[in-house]
Each structure stands twice: as C-alpha cells, then as structure tokens.
Structure 1
Amino acid sequence: MFHRQGQHLGDPLQRPGALLDRGRPGLRDVRLVLGSGGVLRHGGGDTVLQAVLADVGGGWAPPERARALVDQQYIVAAAGLLAADHPDVATRLLGNSIR
C-alpha cells in the first residue's frame, strides 16, 4: 500500500497495468520525481534525475511521463517536519515552492 501524507492511495497491485512480468509493481503512473539534497542541487541534479527515470535495472518499470524537479530550496525536509502537526501549512509551503 502506498501512503502520501496519511492518505491511502490504494493497492498498486490492484491497478490495471501496474505489474511487470516479474510480478513487481511498476512506477509507470508516477507523475513527479522530486530530488533533494546537496549532490542534486550542486552536481547536475537534472541530469541525475533523468538518468534515474530511464533506469530499468532491477526490473522496475520507470515512470512514463514524470516531471523531474530538484528541491533547490531544501523545502521538502521542512514540509515533512510540519506535515504531522500542520498539514495545511506543509501543503501550502510545497505548493508555493515546487513548480
């Protein structure tokens, strides 16, 4: 089961087309890949994330139409800390920073 900010998103094994031949759930439906950290921010993060999106090693189906963004302001960690007690603030913070 996948969770996002406490919301149950459903069992990926029950979605059509979610399984690969090996029986593993795929990542085809992922819409956003957000990288965070100094290596990505200062070391060609866009190139690194594009390589991750194209990697089929390990048998996982990569996302088909995901946007790749780098957390340039290190805002994801702050939003994560706020999310438990102030989910609306965390959501607004991310909405204003991640575009």
Structure 2
Amino acid sequence: MDHSKHTPLPRQDLNEAVLTDAPIYDTADRKIGTISHVHKSGDLTEVVVDVGGFLGIGAKPVLVRADQLNLMRDEKGKVHGVTSWTKDQLKDLPEHKH
C-alpha cells in the first residue's frame, strides 16, 4: 500500500466516531491490530488497539497515544494507521483495562 498518497488526519478527527474500527498496519503493511476505543481528543488522544486474536476473540487491548501512530485516510476515505512497532512489541505493552 502506498501511504504517500494518503491524507494525514487533522487533529479534530482524532475522536471515537472517526477512529473506532480503524486497522493498524506495521511498516510491511501487515495488519497488526484494530482501534477499539478512544480516550480524550485532539492532542491528548489515546487509542486502545486490540492486538492479536481472531475476529476480536483473544485480542489483547493496549493503550497507545494517537501521536505514536500515523493516522490517515486513503483515496477512498477509509481511516487506518501505520506504526513502526511490530505486533510483538504492541503485545508486550501492558494490557489496558476499561
């Protein structure tokens, strides 16, 4: 996937309505998680990324600051994120308890 043509999300789009269910990819474009929940908004936005599992079952929720992800829209308007972290690095983060 060529992310160079994708538009970075503006700060006002860092909210629950826009980010929920957005897939997160590693630098090799492998899906490594999905945003399941959003805390706060704007510059302070934190997202819960469900990592691992199958169809949401057995996934581990981890809390990540939104500014640690490259959140963007593709040419069709679909929101997604890219991170330099690996799936294993995300899984090593502490489990987020709602």
More helix by share: 1
Tell me the TM-score range normalised by the shorter chain: under 0.3
- Which protein has greater RCO, CA pairs closer than 8 Å, 6+ apart? 2
Larger radius of gyration: 1
Say which structure is richer in strand.
2
TM-score (norm 2): 0.22
